[in-house]
Chain A
């Protein structure tokens, strides 16, 4: 018989969580998690933010009982994810962006009903809940449409609704708005926030590639890289960690100078932002320390043959904090990263 749940226990707690994939077939050992300590309280929307290969998905898989840790300990709702996996599964829900859940032959409604049954939700509870979720994800008109006739975005929204059919205590959202259009993503973010607010003790652990999403939704954010938590705090505190100076974004015409060479030239860490192929330019981001004059920096760039097309300065954003802490942008691949 199962142990009585400890309602005071944090929603998620990890201590020294490790996950290593041993070397095999010529591939070196990969350290996906190298001692992660997290404590997520009930009622929080908590974000895991990190570049590709930082270990976010590995962490989510372990917390969802889909992967064993190589070391350390992880608890969800007070239950050990390895020894008390069944108790953990009763309390969690998982939505991964871009996943293909359900069977094409089923209708949207049937698919959601099927997943509700895997959680033992009685029909009298599941059916009205499914109706409500279909309205939330704007699929009520397509409730009786087969899944194989849905567009990718519609399918994404159905997957999102699937995560809520069991009304879990702790919901894991792994890049949930990946590939969604702006309006749908906004609608779903609002729904998650309302869902947490209206249900005492409900917790969300979110991984995302979108800084603005993390900034808007999360009570606290852990910035992870190469399997380690580098910082963990509220978005406002993380932003404040980047003190002083000026945040500068230059639109430059550049033949491919690497960031290290630029850092040597202007004396501050820089990061390349998104390219603008239509104008043949890229964004170069850096924080200019107090006391430094922007004009000198621009001249240093011009001397290296980099033509500056536009200049913008702004307030500290979460992305600035991220670059400051991790040393690169969210889109840069981590060398030797994990899963």
Chain B
């Protein structure tokens, strides 16, 4: 079989560096403009929020919990929220890379044999994401997570919150940090284990590795099924402590999954255009396109499943989540734009067979979907942490560029360390003749 190795060229490195530098500049500009303009904007926004709360007595229940958490300067809290949603988003994409490889092994899929090293490389971001997550949490937990404030748990105290007190067994700092470390430890261990077997297969050529990988992958998928859901409760759902949604685990997974699939597709296309992956042709791209198309609809299905029931039941403690987003000048447009970018556009643009086979279409749709799910995570985190003071600007865009640059740097440099295409994968021949 072909012996391909990815070379992380200095041009590519320079481009990523430029991207990061531009990102830092934009972030700094964003911080300065927020610091200077922050004062009266915040006052205005607060006034607006008070109006809204007064007008809708029922929904105001949820607003009560927010009141404090504003002791920090606005820009600093915004920076924390910004860091947090980027970290969750990119950790998710890295995790999805490992999950994708696991799914391919468990399904014994042949078509994906030459591209599996791409999602596998995503896993290299997991330890970095884990450390960043831990650091951000330790620094910013009081600004991001309302439930971390001690006074809420003082029985009979002025700020005693019965609902949050009831969740104490699950939402306490020790258990929370233990879970966070456990997730990353489990994910990274399984990633290293799979990677080891995959690289061993290159050397020995024994099919034993392939059979063993099926078993490891099955184990990982069981763990992923639980941890993808519980990590979504921890990192996303617990921001809105009073609110709960039984859909959130699926919702976060769906968003990660589509974003991960789009990222895999884009990097495959990039490598193909650089002259690598000679085995990959439009049939393989067609399959990736189907994944992005199908799971964009899946995401929408989960979205409507969450929204519709809350809308129908109209219980204040549930609808407050959407009330915050829809009755807000800064969040409502994002709310609708997400639906356009993540459902309407990929649904219509990737519907035909031809569009899934053409690189140009895939590039446009996958980029839009990636940005769409990035906005989705923005909208999951920001309204809960920043309340009426959240906004969208250079800070978010700059941070996205920094994260994207770092993520790509890590996975591309790791991709360059190992052969790009498996040498002795038993299904390579099947993939070579893949035709749909």
A and B physically associate: no
Which chain A residues have a beta carbon within 8 Å of chain B's beta carbons? none
